[in-house]
Every structure is written in structure tokens, then in C-alpha cells.
Amino acid sequence: MAGGFAESGADLELVGISKRFPGFTAIEELDLTIPAGSFFALLGPSGCGKTTTLRLIAGLEEPTTGRIYLGGKDVTDTKTYRRPVNTVFQSYALFPHMSVIDNVAFGLRRRGIREARALAHEALKLVELDHVAARRPAQLSGGQQQRVALARAVVNRPALLLLDEPLGALDLKLRRQMQIELKVIQGDVGLTFLHVTHDQEEAMTMADTVAVMNKGRIEQMGAPEELYELPKTVFVANFLGQSNLFTGPVVSSGKDSIVVDIGGRKLEVPRERAQRHAGEVTIGVRPEKLQLHGAEPKAAAGTNVLGPGRVTDVSFSGVSTQYQIAIPGLGTVSLFAQNRDVGAVLREGAEVWVSWDVAHGFGVADDPADGPRFDPDDDTRSIAVQRREKLEAELEGA
């Protein structure tokens, strides 16, 4: 079947996919299209449904409803081993008793391909590891093992390559190095990559397109910069980095901007960057967009100002210093200041004001009155507790 797909990979389409387990819904009505040859990241916290989605695509789970198409072909009912899909796992899953070259050539030999060894050497050259072809996996570093696992997957020329948290076992420095290398490799081989991760930096560094998933649905999808600079929901605003969020009524709405009353303070947001323009709304600004002032700044058009407030915490993180500022009636505001000077600019207890350019604000689509999408007892732990309590009640009744 794999021979029917182009070497550049194939597009993936999920249509009306849902997956329900006893007591909870993992995915509900998911529609997703990934173009051939793209590097796509599915990003979300644990339990959001991203790994279930990957398992459905790989054929390790069956959807409750919906269809899965690869290169325009329906593979929903196709067995796992017949799908033109390969997966790179966090654990690498290399055969310890085989040499590196035999690990990479294993799948080709099972398919009866005569040039298996030559093709395996080509794949190892791609990941710059052909010089360790005769070694065993235990003789390699974690980063080298990860690249061998990638070579073993790529050598089969799958229509789709699934990356399941592939860098999770690496240390921070090596993980960042591999992020760059994976992006380069994907560009060289031209395959369709679907990367599943909970690491925001990892997704934004490597992927052309990122889909943020939450409770079985895609909250927002787009280029990494678009999602970060203009989040459309509270979840995306808080999951991709940090955000200062404020809720209040819209008191005026013009052609270019809206003005929101936040605890008696008037904050302006560009109309094109706000998802809602009337009623009770939630607006936000990223911590690194804020400017810190030791005295009240003069009012100026195109600038929002909050204060006075008190610095309650100062955290040095290397490239920046994070300030937590308590503003009466508004709560705590986070501010990141780039470290241009030695030491913190201000200490705990200092009276400060913050300001930001109106153009940097955003407004999300959430209705502040909306409740949670699912009942809070839909997780497996709660289900287990409910079953135990039911059983105990039955035993007492007996």
C-alpha cells in the first residue's frame, strides 16, 4: 500500500473524529487537515486528547465516529502494519542486541527490500551517524539513540511520520539542539511530520503550524507567531507562555479600538485584535510587553497605564527578571524585564506603575459567563471513586 504514496509524504485528513471511553470523552468531533510535506505540531497538556489522536492515526485505536484519510485514501479500517505511517517514540525502542545499521535496516529487510543496508547507510548519513553504524545502541548517547530511531523511521519513506514526545528524555541543551536538527531533517527529506508534545517551546521552534488542543478539541490553530501574539481563548493565552488577563465591560467601541473598564481603569484594545466587541469581555497582554516605571508616567495616546502597585516578588531567570506586582482592585500582574543592567532594577515593596502599547493588547473569544465544557468528574480518577462508592453502597445494602 505504501507504494501508492509520493516520496514527499501525504496529506492527512481527520473528518468528524470522536473517541469515547467508558465514562469520559477523549476526543469530540475533531476535524483536521495537515498538508503533505508540512511539519505540524499537536500541542496540549496531559489528558487533552493529543496522544489518543496520534494512536488513532497510527491505527492503535479505533475511532468511535469519523474517518481518517492519508493521501486521499481512507485508512480508518486499515491495520496498523499496513498503514504507511511510522512513529518515533520518546523511549526510542531500539533493539539492544542489534547494531545501529541493523536497527535502521530492520523494517526494510522485513519488507524484502534488497538494498536495505545501502538505504540504511543513507539514512544514517542524513542524521550524521553513519560513523557509528557498527555500534550497539547502549554505546550511544541519548541524543544519538534518538537520531537512530529517527533514521529507522525515515528510511521506510512513510507517508506520515508521527513524533510522540521524541525529545522528552533528553536534557535541556541537547533537546534544543535536536529541535533545530529535526527541523533541518524534515526539510531535507520532505516527509509529513506530525509532532505530538506538551512542550510549548518545542512546538513553536520546529513546526510550521501548531494546533493547541484542550479537552478533546482544537482551541486554535495557526503559525506559532500568530498563536502567541494573538491568542483567541483564555486557554491558549495561558498555555502558550504567560498572559496578564483582565475582565470587564466594554464602555465604548470605535472604528479602530474598544475601551474596557477594568476596576475603574479604562484600557484600550485594537478592534482587530479583539474577538468580542461588546458586553463583558476578557482582554490581555503578555508580560514582556509591559514597561516598568518607578513614578507615574504621563498619559499618552496609544498607551495603557496601570498603577500604582507594589512589587511582591522578584525572580531572576538569566535573560530577564520577572516581577510580580500587586495592583489594588486588579490582583497580581506579571512583568518580564530584559536584563540590560546588573541585578534587579527594583526590589520587593517598591511602588511602581506599568504601561504598554495599545497595539500589544488582545481580546479573547471566551464569554466570562461560560462554564466548563465537560463536567469536572469526567477524569478516570473520579470515575474510579464513583465506582468504589457505588460498590461500597451496594455492599452496605446487602
Give 217's pLDDT tier (boundaries 50, 70, 90): very high
**pLDDT over 90 at 275, yes or no:** yes
DSSP secondary structure letters along 174-219 = HHHHHHHHHHHHHHHH--EEEEEES-HHHHHHH-SEEEEEETTEEE
The Cα–Cα gap between 145 and 296 comes to 56
**Length of the chain in terms of residues written:** 398
Are 286 and 301 contacting, i.e. CB atoms less than 8 angstroms apart? no
Residue-level pLDDT at 172: 74
**pLDDT over 90 at 346, yes or no:** no
Give 358's pLDDT tier (boundaries 50, 70, 90): very high
**pLDDT over 80 at 86, yes or no:** yes
> What distance lies between CA 223 and its chain's CA centroid?
12
Residue-level pLDDT at 110: 86
Cell (9 digits) for 309: 502597585
Q: Which amino acid is at 131?
A: H
Q: Which of 366, 356, 365 is nearest to 334 (CA)?
A: 356
**pLDDT over 80 at 341, yes or no:** no
Give 243's pLDDT tier (boundaries 50, 70, 90): very high
Region of poorest pLDDT, from 178-187, 232-241, 255-264: 178-187
At residue 151, the 3 state secondary structure works out as helix
Average pLDDT value for residue range 154-181: 80
**pLDDT over 90 at 219, yes or no:** yes
Region of poorest pLDDT, from 313-317, 322-326, 361-365: 313-317
Domains, the chain, with CATH or none: 2-228 (3.40.50.300), 242-363 (2.40.50.100)
Residue-level pLDDT at 209: 95
Residue-level pLDDT at 375: 37
The Cα–Cα gap between 304 and 391 comes to 58
Give 381's pLDDT tier (boundaries 50, 70, 90): very low
pLDDT in tens, 118-165: 999 988 988 888 999 999 999 998 888 888 988 888 888 888 989 888
Cell (9 digits) for 284: 490581555
Cell (9 digits) for 11: 496529506
Residue-level pLDDT at 233: 95
User: What is the residue-averaged pLDDT of the chain?
Assistant: 86
The Cα–Cα gap between 199 and 368 comes to 27
Are 116 and 143 contacting, i.e. CB atoms less than 8 angstroms apart? no
147 φ/ψ angles, rounded to the nearest 5 degrees: -70, -35
Q: Which residue has the cell 465506582?
A: 387
Average pLDDT value for residue range 273-279: 95
Residue-level pLDDT at 343: 56
